[in-house]
Amino acid sequence: MLAEGVNGLFGHTALIIGLAASVFGAGALATATLLKDQRLVRTVQAYVMVALIGAVLAVVVMQRALITRDWSIAYVQKVGSYDTPPLFNFTALWSALEGSILLWLLLLAIYTFIVARRYRDRMSDPLVAWALVTMLVVSAFFFFLALGPTDAFQAGGVPNFDQCCKGPNPLLQNHVLVLFHPPILYLGYVGFTVPFAFAIGALITGRVGEGWLMETRRWALFAWGFLTLGIILGSWWSYEVLGWGGVWAWDPVENASFLPWLTGTAYIHSVLVQERRGMLRVWNLSLLVATFSLTILGTFLTRSGVVNSVHAFSDGTIGPYLLGFFGVIVVVSLGLIAWRGDRLRSPGAIDSPISREGAFLANNVVFSLFAFIILLGTVFPLIVEAKEDRQIAVGSPFFDTLGQPIGIVLLFLMAIAPVLPWRKAGMELLRDRLFWPAWCSAAALAIAVIFGATDFAPLLAFTLAGFAGGSAMRQLVLATRRQGYRGLLGRANGGMVVHIGIILIAVGLAASNSYTRAGEFTMVKGDTVQFAGHQFELVDVVEFENPTSVGIKALVSIDGGQPYAPAISKFTAQGMDVSTPSVKTGLFKDIYLTLGNGSKPSTGTAKLKIFIKPMIVWLWVGGLLCAAGTILAAFPGKHRRRPTDPVSAPVPLDEVADV
């Protein structure tokens, strides 16, 4: 029992050290900035390092407790088990509330350390200093959560193995993607803390021109890329694990990740206008504040128990703290924007709506509208339940009905914006630049019709996808002709690779949502059925047993090939049945098999559900292209613009007036 007590002691000690380092580091740097004390500034690096050590040590200690099955810790009793495979015992760290906060805390400490290291020679610059103060304050809040409301190292007492120690939720130990999806998603969530912190620093110092954007561009870009990849991996996990045949159900927790993605996407586009024309300053600050605030709101929705979801954590008292922190962020940020209102007036104006800045402004409006609709549909049932003590559901029909036209508009903007010049576009120029994209749209429409597409909405989506894809390819071809391989680098060209990825995702969603075919069949061993042009033969129905589960699987041959094996597993510790689909993946369609209740090995009977899912693989390919495009966009292109706004230039501490 000595080693077990040491884990809890070390864990609490690490969190206390991290909390103290974050609080004192923020206080020291704020004081040094106000008093212009450069000696005190230099101590901040040590505070940041100690906070990182505290976070790393806390996570390492928890992993040790999980690996050694330290039952003296309540969290290990909650998610640990003697029978859990090593991989899922490792991922158990983020499989429930307390451990997920530790993961968040670790990533935030890493980001804070990288920022402090990256700007160590500019720590006397007040903008950088206040940005780091902001990050340390956020770190202190999450250290507080980890120590108090979500204490992962709380003593658990003597375990009652009949009631505890059953392992993670079976859905979180049924696929290897649980190793990648949460950490990558959190890298996106937490990563937006950096540009938000620099925005706060710019507002505090009054340096709200274009210079601070250059400091945050790559941070925002990588955070967006991680969030995008995390969402795609989450969709893939849903498709491979939940057995319902879909990738996105407008679940409240799915929406919680999509909301900051929408506002973050709007910011990444909108920031180009401010850098080029000095416009949309309030928009950009507001979008950053909204993005970071929505990550906190999403954390509240996921971890407070206010929503029911496959992957929401419904225990703990963390909700009021997160909601209060969300309120503080919004009030302080809007107060700073109002305070600096005179400096936020844009020196430029839109000369014509038919221009690149006009298209980006329209893009902002559409993304913001989409985010508002999703936020309303997600939060409105909670408001009704809180006020009237009754439950209502806002489901897929609401989001699909309102989201479909917005998606069409966004595809149109993706086609038009890349060919538009700054300031004003003439009709002759547009006619020349849209020639090949228009032919691509016509080709996409023809191909869709040839392959049997008939409904208006998907046909329109395919046509506009061809239009947008042609526009992106046109720019990439011109850039690579002029610059060779460097034509793929830089925001504009890497952004076109991202556009192509998003277009593939849009096409995959339009095809799978509109043309999925499904059939249910009760078959006996040796039976064959014909469905959607394929022959399915039930080869056998067999039982199986694993260390954590027992179950049955059906061996199904598709068109005479090797059998696929959809299964139902009963995780014995939790007494929970989990359906595991089996998928034959192809470039143009997936054949998706699930096994239903009532299947019996004793009689060789299987109840099969078969889905024919067009173009699903395009979603995963599109996600990989988005990740690749993000990396390409992070590298500087041949021509780099540097801010000329003197308000934004770095200023030594001894030359800056008191703030």
499: in domain: no
**What average pLDDT does this structure show over 223-251?**
90
Total structural domains in the chain? Answer: 3
74: in domain: yes
Q: What does residue 111 show for φ and ψ, rounded to 5 degrees?
A: -60, -45
80: in domain: yes
Provide the percentage of residues in the chain whose pLDDT is more than 70: 91
Do 150 and 184 fall within a single domain?
no
pLDDT tens, position by position, 399-454: 888 888 998 999 888 888 888 777 766 677 777 778 888 888 899 899 988 888 88
Domain boundary at 336, 358, 376, which?
A: 376
Contact 541, 525 (CB under 8 A): yes
Do 27 and 113 fall within a single domain?
yes
Domain boundary at 101, 128, 158, which?
A: 158
Do 117 and 189 fall within a single domain?
no
Q: Please tell me the predicted confidence (pLDDT) of residue 652.
A: 36
28: in domain: yes
Do 564 and 527 fall within a single domain?
yes
Q: Please tell me the predicted confidence (pLDDT) of residue 295.
A: 92
- Domain with 290 in it: 180-376
Sign of CA dihedral 273, 277, 279, 284: positive
pTM: 0.89
pLDDT tens, position by position, 530-573: 998 899 999 999 998 888 888 999 999 999 888 999 999 888 87
621: in domain: no
Do 227 and 316 fall within a single domain?
yes
Instruction: Inform me whether the pLDDT recorded for 3 exceeds 50.
Output: no
- Band (351; pLDDT cuts 50, 70, 90): low
Provide the percentage of residues in the chain whose pLDDT is more than 90: 38
Contact 616, 590 (CB under 8 A): yes
283: in domain: yes
pLDDT tens, position by position, 384-396: 777 777 777 777 8
Do 145 and 207 fall within a single domain?
no
The residue behind tokens 């690490």 is 14
Of 232, 34, 8, nearest in space to 130 by CA: 34
Do 210 and 150 fall within a single domain?
no
Do 90 and 196 fall within a single domain?
no
- Band (276; pLDDT cuts 50, 70, 90): confident
Q: Please tell me the predicted confidence (pLDDT) of residue 198.
A: 92
104: in domain: yes
- Band (648; pLDDT cuts 50, 70, 90): very low
- Band (348; pLDDT cuts 50, 70, 90): low
Which stretches of 81-125 are DSSP H helices?
86-91, 97-118
656: in domain: no
pLDDT tens, position by position, 442-490: 998 999 888 888 888 889 999 999 999 888 888 888 888 887 777 777 7
Domain boundary at 376, 398, 426, which?
A: 376
- Band (156; pLDDT cuts 50, 70, 90): confident
* CA-to-CA dists, residue 637 to 396, 428, 486, angstroms: 41, 28, 7
Q: What is the mean pLDDT of the chain?
A: 85
Of 118, 117, 107, 109, nearest in space to 136 by CA: 109
Q: Please tell me the predicted confidence (pLDDT) of residue 307.
A: 59
Listed ranges 14-23, 149-158, 518-527, 575-584; the one with the highest mean pLDDT: 14-23
How far is residue 173's CA from residue 204's CA, in Å, rounded to a whole number? Answer: 46
Contact 224, 296 (CB under 8 A): no
Q: Please tell me the predicted confidence (pLDDT) of residue 242.
A: 85
pLDDT tens, position by position, 43-63: 888 999 999 999 999 999 999
Do 139 and 69 fall within a single domain?
yes
Contact 622, 501 (CB under 8 A): yes
Do 356 and 239 fall within a single domain?
yes
Do 248 and 291 fall within a single domain?
yes
Do 239 and 354 fall within a single domain?
yes
